[in-house]
Amino acid sequence: MPTIDDHITTYLAAIEVEGKTLKTRQSYANSLADFRKIGRVLGLPDTVEDYTVSHVYAFLAEIRRRGYSVLYQHRRHREVKTCFSWFRRMGILEVNVFQRVPLVKLPLTIKTPFSPPEVQRLLDAQDRETLTGSRNYALVLFLLDSGVRASECVAVQLDDVDWDRGRVFIRHGKGEKQRWVGIGPRTQDALVDYTSRFRGDTNGALFRTSAGDDMSSPHTLNTLLQRLATQTGVSDVHPHRFRHTFATWAIESGAREIDIQMLLGHSDLTMTHRYARTYTSEKAVRAHASLSPVNRLPTPNSTSSSRRP
């Protein structure tokens, strides 16, 4: 009888044939390797048919006991569950016991977008008469205007820009999904300035290093943005915050969630709802003055105040 390790080997080969990206396959392989390593320590079954709900909880309890983050716990749970779903779909299992156990809950955090003054500080600090300044100015506007991921930004080629229609083709989105993103006139003007005066018109990465090389990875982009943070005193300057700001400002301007989903390349509305939560929370705080029960109380006779200056 095949062991669970035999079935996992087949599963990992199957998702490669099905077209999962290398990054996705590596993540699943790591999750399943951890699952089996912990399973051997706990004495969990070696055959998939023998797994019960109690075994699932034993596995989850162990990774929690080891002090792994909630995000780590959630990912391991979700990816092993997906593997067992494949076992069931292939007829290896009749029941997926992982399906019966709710996923580890992720915290609902409120992430703060950039404020307009913060973005302006980033722009004002750039000397557009230099290669670095012109590039950084265009880069900040591009990240904010398009909402692209770091990996997508460094992969954009000069030929991917449709200057006539004000859009950029994202060839290598998450999961190798392609899409178009829009850029406005101000961003286009900044890109034209950078490419015509400094970068040149040879094809290759749209944004290049100061030495004229293509950016090799998202890490290069992050390092560049960290320098901008140090230069301007603006905190948390990274690609995803620009992405988050794009979504939050778009929602505040009345954009439809389906538009944001398509522009950001989300497979469903889950992530879009997380961005909407930031705006909803901020909107509620702004409305507090008209909603506050304390503001309805009679004005105190004393003129003294204990508020901080």
Q: Which residues are catalytic?
A: 149, 174, 240, 243, 266, 275
CA-nearest of 141, 173, 138 to 264 is: 173
- Pinpoint the alpha helices (H) of the chain: 4-17, 22-42, 53-65, 70-89, 116-124, 131-146, 150-155, 185-194, 218-232, 239-252, 257-264, 270-286, 288-291
Write the burial class of residue 36 (CB in 10 Å: 0-12 exposed, 13-18 middle, 19+ buried). middle
3-class SS of residue 11? helix
Q: Please, are residues 113 and 249 in contact by the beta-carbon 8 Å criterion?
A: yes
- The CA distance from 176 to 126, in Å, is 34
Write the burial class of residue 46 (CB in 10 Å: 0-12 exposed, 13-18 middle, 19+ buried). middle
- Neighbour count for residue 214 (Cβ, 10 Å): 14
**Cα angle 175, 177, 179; round to 5:** 145
Element (H, E) at 162: strand 161-162
Q: Please, are residues 75 and 26 in contact by the beta-carbon 8 Å criterion?
A: no
Q: Both tokens of residue 186?
A: 């101000």
